Amino acid sequence: MVKAEGKTYPFDDPSTIDASVLETFPYEYAGHDAIVEISTDEFTAVCPYSGLPDFGSLAVRYIPSSVCIELKSFKYYLISYRNVGIYQEHAANKILEDLVAASDPKWMEVVLDYRLRGGIHTVVTVTDGSRPGDLV
């Protein structure tokens, strides 16, 4: 239970996010750069200020170095956010941090595009590594 705006809502703190479920598999073409994009429109967490749910689309783009992110494990990882109170900017950074730790990519970008709420639209983009010059 966390208190938000003077009311008590049953949501968890970010320590419950389970990065241990992330799995990888060997990238057999390590000498050839490939841009891998994973996306979903089913990302959800909880605003820790209001206690209201946040919904958004998530896109992860990366260039693998020696491993790729296994997709089912990525889905389980995202599910661990469902009841977590986390600010939008922090969610994007936490996802990037956990995915980089699991896969050690050459480059990675996370774009978290939240649904409109209260007339405000938020898109958070975070990166790790040097952006390849040929990416638009």
Active site residue 68: no
Given the residues 12, 54, 113, 128, select the one marked as catalytic.
Answer: 54
**47 annotated active-site:** yes
Indicate which residue of 12, 47, 68, 128 is catalytic: 47
Tens of pLDDT along 98-117?
Answer: 999 999 999 999 999 999 87
Low-confidence ranges of the chain (pLDDT < 50): 136
Domains of the chain: 32-59+70-131 (3.30.1130.10)
Give a three-class secondary structure readout of the chain.
CEEECCEEECCECHHHCCHHHCCEEECCCCCCCCCEEEEEEEEEEECCCCCCEEEEEEEEEEECCCEEECHHHHHHHHHCCCCEECCHHHHHHHHHHHHHHHHCCCEEEEEEEECCECCECCEEEEEECCCCCCCC
| pTM for the structure as a whole | 0.89
What does the pLDDT read at residue 136?
47
